[in-house]
Amino acid sequence: MARTAVAKKKKAEVIAFNPDMFSADAGAGLTNLGTEDLAMPFLRILQKTSPELDEIDARAGDIYNTVTKEVINGSDGCRVINCAYRLEHIEWEPLGQGSKAPFNIYPAGTALPDTFRNDDEKDFNDYVVDGDGRYLERTAQHYVLTLDGEGMTQQALVSMKTTQFKKSKQWNSALKAAKMKDSKGHLFVPPRYAQIFRLKTHKEENKKGSWFGWEISKEGYIDNANLYAEAKMFAESISAGQVNVQHQREESKVKQEEVPF
């Protein structure tokens, strides 16, 4: 009877992980991506009416990254560099109608359609005349770089509207009021992207209800040349119109006119 030869399996060689194997191919497969292929993350405050609370492990007052789905404790907050700012009036269709994308976006300085307010004190929207229920939201757009504990950065957008619009004005005012001295002792206003801030959240309320809003505090100036160069490059790309933002309406589990913020 012939003996059947049984091949012995060789034990797979285990190769220790080394990040250099990634760095050797840095950027491979990503060089053909343009702004139309990428989504700008929004940093949003989760409210008690946010549908995300039914899907993720988070609570009202936490900060939510819409692309990475990362949840940041609102009491701890996150560190950011405010690189650029834009004021826009965004026209939305009524909740539940049309797409989640804006009907129109009006940059600062452009003519706006005629609007009106309803008599209901709960309703603070500016409705477009003959617009079939469409409404305008004055929106302050702050383009930021987020910084994690290891110094890694990510581009993001912080939108402030309604009750939070005054926070935007205060943030802009603080940036413009900053002063530094050069090597000759002359005072100057540093660029917008020279400072690091911490964004936290805290509870706010008025007669219409309660919600969580932004709390902004300055931590200091950038002390890393590479980080400063990255912030400057991000700011310049926004000025050049190279950053594409895909706005989407923030969903709520209640009617739009019942949201107090």
Q: What pLDDT digit, counting tens, does each position of 157-177 carry? A: 999 999 999 999 999 999 999
Range of the domain at 211: 48-86+143-258
Q: What pLDDT digit, counting tens, does each position of 71-121 carry? A: 999 999 999 999 999 999 999 999 888 788 999 999 999 999 999 998 776
Q: Is residue 52 part of a domain?
A: yes
Q: Is residue 56 part of a domain?
A: yes
Total count of domains within the chain: 1
Q: Is residue 205 part of a domain?
A: yes
Q: Is residue 199 part of a domain?
A: yes
Q: Is residue 241 part of a domain?
A: yes
What DSSP line would sit under the chain, residue for residue?
-PPPP-PPPPPPPPPPP-THHHHTTTTTTTTT--GGG--PPBEEE--TT-GGGGTSS--TT-EEETTT--EE-TTT-EEEEEEEEEEEEEEEPPTTSS-SS-SEEEETTS----EE--S-TT---EEETTSTT-EEEEEEEEEEEEE-TTS-EEEEEEEEEGGGHHHHHHHHHHHHH--EE-TTS-EEPPPGGGEEEEEEEEEEEETTEEEEEEEEEEEEE---HHHHHHHHHHHHHHHTT-------PPP-SS-GGG---
Q: Is residue 237 part of a domain?
A: yes
The model carries a pTM of: 0.84
